[in-house]
C-alpha cells in the first residue's frame, strides 16, 4: 500500500506571524505649550459683615448659610429699644437748644438796635451777643449728639454690601453681640478664583489673559483666564501666585484643591496614540515594523500629552510605521502580519489566531504553536472515510484516501 507524501519542506520552514497588528504613522502637528501647576480655590472677593455696636441681642436674622442675597438686603437686626429711647432723648435736647437759641437771637437783635443809646450798657450788649453765639453752638452740639444716636440705631441693622452668597454665620438668634464680632461672610457674586502656585522658572511665561484649564478635586474641568500674576515670591515656599478668574457658574467651591494647565503658547509635536506606547522596566518603547514585517523595538522619550496622544521626543527617522495597539505582546524580531489601519476586519481574518493559546490542527492530535494560521481542508465526501497511514507526519493535514496500489503478482 502506498504511503502519503509529507508536506513540502518549504511549507514546514516558512516563518509564521506571531500577531496580526495595525500600524500607524507618527503625526506631526502643532500643540499648545502648557505649564502645569497646583493650588487652592479661594473666594474671588470675600466680604465680612461685623458689628459696630455692642451689648445688644440679635432679634431677627432672615438669612442662613448658602442664602443668595442682593445689595441692601437685611441680614440681621439687633434690639433697638434702648437706642430708640436715646434718639428720642437727643431729639428733645435739640428742641431745647433751639428754643434757647431763639431767645438768644432775640436778645442779640435788641442789643444791636440799642447800641449807641442809653438803654443797655456796652457790657450788657456784649453779653447778649455772646449768649446768641453760645446758643447756636449748643444747637449744633445737640444735633450732632442726635446724629450719633441715629447712626448707632442704623447700625443695629446689618445689610448686604453687594450681591453674593452667605458662606459663614457667626451668631444665632438671642445672642448678645460684642463690638467687632463677625456676623457673616459673603462670597461676592458667587465667584471663585484659582490661585496657581508657580516656581520662579515658570513666571516669565505666564501673563494676564492666558487661557487656563482647571481640574478641581471634585471632578470636571473649568476654563478660566489669568487675571494677574503676583509681583513677588513667597519667602517661605519660593513660589509666586497666579490669580485665575473662573466663571460664576463653574460649580467650584472655595477651599478645594485643584490642578490646572496654563496655555502659554504653541509648539510643533510628533505624536502617536497613547495605546502605541509600551512601558517596560521604567522606560517607554515604540514597536516599529521593518520592510521584512519584523518588529523593531525603539526606546523613546515621552513629552506632552494632548487629547489621547503622546508627544515623542527624539524619534529615529526610520520610525515610519508604529504598532498601534498590542505592543505589550511583542518582542524584538517577532514576525507580524500587518493590517492597514483604515481597512475594516474581513471575514477571512477570523481564521487567523492572534495571541491565543495553541491551536489543534484538524485531523490530527498534535498542537501547533500559538499564533499559527489555521487552514481548514476541503470537506471530504460523506461516504469516504478520512484515513492516513501510520507513517504520515504528525503535522500533515488529513488528506483524501490514497490510491490503491497494484497487487503483487
**Domains observed in the chain:** 34-45+189-267 (2.40.30.170), 46-76+157-188 (2.40.50.100), 80-155 (1.10.287)
pLDDT over 50 at 388, yes or no: no
What pLDDT digit, counting tens, does each position of 304-355 carry? Answer: 888 889 988 877 877 788 888 877 788 888 888 887 653 333 333 333 333 3
Higher pLDDT, 110 or 142: 142
How far is C-alpha 200 from the geometric centre of its chain's CA atoms?
23
Report the pLDDT value the prediction gives residue 269, as an integer from 0 to 100: 87
The residue with cell 504528525 is 394
**Lowest-confidence region among 6-15, 121-130, 245-254, 341-350:** 341-350
Q: Where are the alpha helices (DSSP H) in 155-279?
A: 200-203
Report the pLDDT value the prediction gives residue 14, as an integer from 0 to 100: 52
pLDDT over 70 at 9, yes or no: no
pLDDT over 60 at 54, yes or no: yes
Task: Indicate the helix (H) or strand (E) that contains 225.
Answer: strand 222-229
Q: How far apart are CA 77 and CA 129, in angstroms?
A: 47
Q: Where are the alpha helices (DSSP H) in 115-236?
A: 122-154, 200-203
How far is C-alpha 235 from the geometric centre of its chain's CA atoms?
27
pLDDT band per the 50, 70, 90 thresholds, residue 1: very low
Higher pLDDT, 292 or 243: 243
3-state secondary structure of 135: helix
Q: How far apart are CA 192 and CA 184, in angstroms?
A: 18
pLDDT over 70 at 394, yes or no: no
- Strand blocks (E) in 71-221: 74-78, 157-159, 164-169, 176-177, 182-188, 192-198, 211-216
Q: How far apart are CA 162 and CA 378, in angstroms?
A: 86
Instruction: List all residues 6 or more positions away from 111 whose beta carbon is below 8 Å from its beta carbon.
Output: 120, 124, 125, 128, 129
Closest to 395 in 3D by CA, of 361, 353, 359: 361
pLDDT over 90 at 41, yes or no: yes
Higher pLDDT, 110 or 63: 63
Contact 202, 241 (CB under 8 A): no
Report the pLDDT value the prediction gives residue 19, as an integer from 0 to 100: 78
Phi, psi torsion values for 250, nearest 5 degrees: -75, -20
Q: How far apart are CA 338 and CA 321, in angstroms?
A: 10
pLDDT over 70 at 408, yes or no: no
Average of per-residue pLDDT across 220-228: 93
Count Cα atoms within 13 angstroms, Cβ side, for 32: 13
Q: How far apart are CA 43 and CA 255, in angstroms?
A: 9
pLDDT over 50 at 42, yes or no: yes
- Strand blocks (E) in 238-358: 240-245, 257-273, 278-280, 283-289, 295-306, 309-313, 322-323, 336-339
Angle at 136 between CA 131 and CA 139, to 5 degrees: 125
Q: How far apart are CA 33 and CA 205, in angstroms?
A: 10
Report the pLDDT value the prediction gives residue 323, as an integer from 0 to 100: 87
Average of per-residue pLDDT across 115-144: 86
Count Cα atoms within 13 angstroms, Cβ side, for 314: 7
User: What pairing do the DSSP bridges indicate for beta strands 68-69 and 240-245?
Assistant: unpaired
Report the pLDDT value the prediction gives residue 353, as an integer from 0 to 100: 32
Q: What percent of the chain has pLDDT over 90?
A: 40
Report the pLDDT value the prediction gives residue 341, as an integer from 0 to 100: 56
Phi, psi torsion values for 317, nearest 5 degrees: -65, -25
Q: How far apart are CA 177 and CA 303, in angstroms?
A: 59
What pLDDT digit, counting tens, does each position of 262-314 carry? Answer: 999 888 888 899 888 999 888 888 888 888 888 888 888 888 888 889 988 87
Show the cell assigned to 242. Answer: 497666579
Amino acid at each position: 500500500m502506498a504511503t502519503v507524501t509529507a508536506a513540502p519542506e518549504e511549507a514546514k520552514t516558512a516563518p509564521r506571524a506571531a500577531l496580526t497588528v495595525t500600524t500607524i504613522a507618527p503625526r506631526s502637528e502643532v500643540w499648545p505649550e502648557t505649564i502645569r501647576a497646583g493650588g487652592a480655590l479661594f473666594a474671588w472677593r470675600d466680604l465680612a459683615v461685623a458689628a459696630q455696636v455692642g451689648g445688644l441681642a440679635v432679634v431677627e436674622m432672615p438669612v442662613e448659610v448658602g442664602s443668595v442675597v442682593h445689595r441692601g438686603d437685611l441680614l440681621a437686626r439687633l434690639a433697638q429699644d434702648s437706642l430708640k429711647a436715646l434718639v428720642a432723648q437727643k431729639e428733645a435736647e435739640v428742641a431745647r437748644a433751639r428754643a434757647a437759641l431763639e431767645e438768644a437771637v432775640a436778645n442779640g437783635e435788641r442789643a444791636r438796635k440799642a447800641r449807641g443809646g442809653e438803654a443797655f450798657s456796652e457790657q450788657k450788649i456784649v453779653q447778649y451777643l455772646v449768649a446768641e453765639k453760645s446758643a447756636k453752638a449748643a444747637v449744633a452740639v445737640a444735633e450732632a449728639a442726635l446724629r450719633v444716636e441715629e447712626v448707632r440705631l442704623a447700625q443695629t441693622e446689618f445689610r448686604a454690601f453687594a450681591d453674593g452668597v452667605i458662606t459663614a454665620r457667626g451668631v444665632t438668634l438671642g445672642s448678645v453681640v460684642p463690638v467687632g464680632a463677625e456676623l457673616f461672610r459673603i462670597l461676592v457674586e458667587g465667584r471663585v478664583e484659582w490661585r496657581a502656585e508657580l516656581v520662579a522658572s515658570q513666571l516669565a511665561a505666564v501673563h494676564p489673559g492666558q487661557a487656563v484649564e482647571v481640574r478641581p478635586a471634585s471632578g470636571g474641568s473649568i476654563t478660566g483666564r489669568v487675571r494677574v500674576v503676583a509681583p513677588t515670591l513667597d519667602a517661605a515656599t519660593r513660589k509666586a501666585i497666579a490669580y485665575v478668574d473662573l466663571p460664576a457658574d463653574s460649580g467650584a467651591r472655595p477651599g478645594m484643591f485643584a490642578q490646572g494647565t496654563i496655555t502659554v503658547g504653541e509648539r510643533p509635536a510628533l505624536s502617536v496614540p497613547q495605546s502605541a506606547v509600551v512601558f517596560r522596566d521604567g522606560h517607554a518603547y515604540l514597536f516599529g515594523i521593518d520592510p521584512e514585517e519584523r518588529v523593531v523595538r525603539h526606546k523613546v522619550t515621552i513629552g506632552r500629552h494632548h487629547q489621547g496622544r503622546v508627544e515623542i521626543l527624539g524619534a529615529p527617522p526610520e520610525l515610519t510605521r508604529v504598532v498601534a495597539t498590542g505592543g505589550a505582546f511583542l518582542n524584538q524580531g517577532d514576525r507580524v502580519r500587518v493590517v492597514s489601519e483604515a481597512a475594516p476586519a474581513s471575514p477571512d481574518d477570523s481564521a487567523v489566531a492572534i495571541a491565543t493559546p495553541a491551536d489543534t490542527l484538524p485531523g490530527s492530535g498534535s498542537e501547533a504553536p500559538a499564533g499559527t494560521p489555521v487552514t481548514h481542508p476541503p470537506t471530504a465526501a460523506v461516504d469516504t472515510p478520512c484515513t492516513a497511514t501510520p507513517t504520515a507526519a504528525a503535522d500533515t493535514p488529513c488528506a483524501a484516501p490514497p490510491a490503491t496500489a497494484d497487487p503483487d503478482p
